[in-house]
Amino acid sequence: MTTAQGQEQAQDQQGRQHRGEPGSAAEILARAEALAPVLRERAGEIERNRTLPPDVVELLRGTGVFRMTSGREWGGPELTSMDQTRVVEALAYGDASAAWCAVIGANTGLIANFLDGATVKEVYPRQDMVTAGVLAPAGHAERVPGGFRLSGRWSFGSGVAHSDWVNSGAFVFEDGKPYASPDGSNPHESRQFLVPRSAVETVDNWDTTGLCGTGSCDYTITDVFVPENHTFTFYEPRGRISPLSAPESFMRALCGVPLGVARAALDHARGIATSRVDRMTGTAWSDSFRVQVALAECEADYNAAREGVYAAMTRQWEVLAAGGDLTPDERAAPPLSWLHAFRTSRAVVGRLYDLLQAWSINRSSPMDRWLRDTATMCQNLTAQDVVLESVGAYLLGGTPKFRISLGITT
């Protein structure tokens, strides 16, 4: 870092402190934990709204979650993947939709790792700006002088409605024909394209089983010019190399959402079990074999899944931070642990829903929402069999279909 950059960073830190922005993992986590009861109280409203209310977005911004991945060279806290996940867990303990949008919005600092420094300053004058969008290359980007003309329709744009920038994947064309990478590595190149929210039209089609408040609607972009420097690929980090400049860094903290929901459901069920008495037998639930075994097994499953996430994530961070190469098993462990966290959390919530029986089925019960939220989030690509297929192929020396989940860049 140059002297000028150091002075600029110090000035940014002073300004941040003046604005009361949290500057450490402990501060951000504490604010997230303090916000959780508010999110729980407003969960029904968030769900009915089908997107986050503007003041809830600002409450999230106040925790520092949107800036938690911002690099130290920008004066950011640069939380480890482990600390990011703890923050997301804390928010999900209050409301899954808010936490889902929080982890999506926090992609801003990660995207900065793939843009040149001048562009970062241009598009992100503040570290707590929200970037949302869809990484899958669903759009058409025609090469033109100085950049691209981008058009397309993308599905499941969580948080786009309240974002500042929308990042979208698209295939590249030139003169209407598929554009091949100059080095011959890709017969049809795809890139990520960063456009302002004002250039995006949302489609009001998000009416779903769970995660209703995420506003994960379709959106369209029509013939929008995107300068070359507002595009990037996950395989070309342009800033300082760090554990957060790996291509799958965008996916790591998302598993904090199901883990936070499962923890909330476990605490809710345990709270009920300590005071409830079986009407037919007069036996306290705390003395019921059925209740004891169900709760203990759910705790065991939850603890194992959560420890698997943090063990894999910690080892990955240690190796990458030291500039080392991950072994095949170390590379495979994180995506497997994410998938296991999603599926185990869904199973835990489902069993607790059955344990509480008729007390779970009313819309006023958080169990109803947690059941629907975990069922919905398990439809995300991170929890699908393609992850197992890709990891299995990789470990056997085959060709993974979902390469980004493994952080494979070649």
The two structure tokens encoding residue 142 = 């025609």
pLDDT tens-place string over residues 139-190: 999 999 999 999 999 999 999 999 999 999 999 999 999 998 777 677 899 9
Give how far Cα 68 sits from Cα of 60, 109, 194, 261, Å.
Answer: 12, 7, 20, 21
What's the chain's Rg over C-alpha atoms?
A: 22
pLDDT tens per residue, range 26-67: 999 999 999 999 999 999 999 999 999 999 999 999 999 999
DSSP secondary structure letters along 301-358: HHHHHHHHHHHHHHHHHHHHHTT----HHHHHHHHHHHHHHHHHHHHHHHHHHHHHGG
Region 80-86: mean pLDDT is 98
Q: For residue 347, what pLDDT is reported? A: 98
Q: Are 92 and 377 in contact (CB under 8 A)?
A: no
The lowest-confidence range among 3-12, 153-162, 180-189, 313-322 is 3-12
Per-residue pLDDT of 239-289, as tens digits, reads 889 999 998 999 999 999 999 999 999 999 999 999 888 887 888 889 899
The pTM assigned to this predicted structure is: 0.92
Which tokens hold the place of 318? 């240690």
Beta-carbon neighbour count of residue 2 at 10 Å? 7
> Count of alpha carbons within 13 Å of 175, Cβ hemisphere only?
1
Task: Report the share of the chain in percent with pLDDT over 90.
Answer: 81
d(Cα 67, Cα 129) in Å, to the nearest integer? 7
Phi and psi, residue 154, nearest 5°: -120, 145
Look at residue 365 in the predicted model and tell me its pLDDT: 87
Q: What's residue 409's pLDDT?
A: 61
Distance CA 119, CA 165 (A): 13
For residue 255, what are the CA distances in angstroms to 86, 125, 209, 383? 10, 29, 19, 9
Mean pLDDT of 317-332: 96
pLDDT band at 386 (very low <50, low <70, confident <90, very high): very high
Neighbour-count burial for 69-98, b at 16+ CB within 10 Å, e otherwise: bbbebbbbbbbbbbbbbbbbbbbbbbbbbb
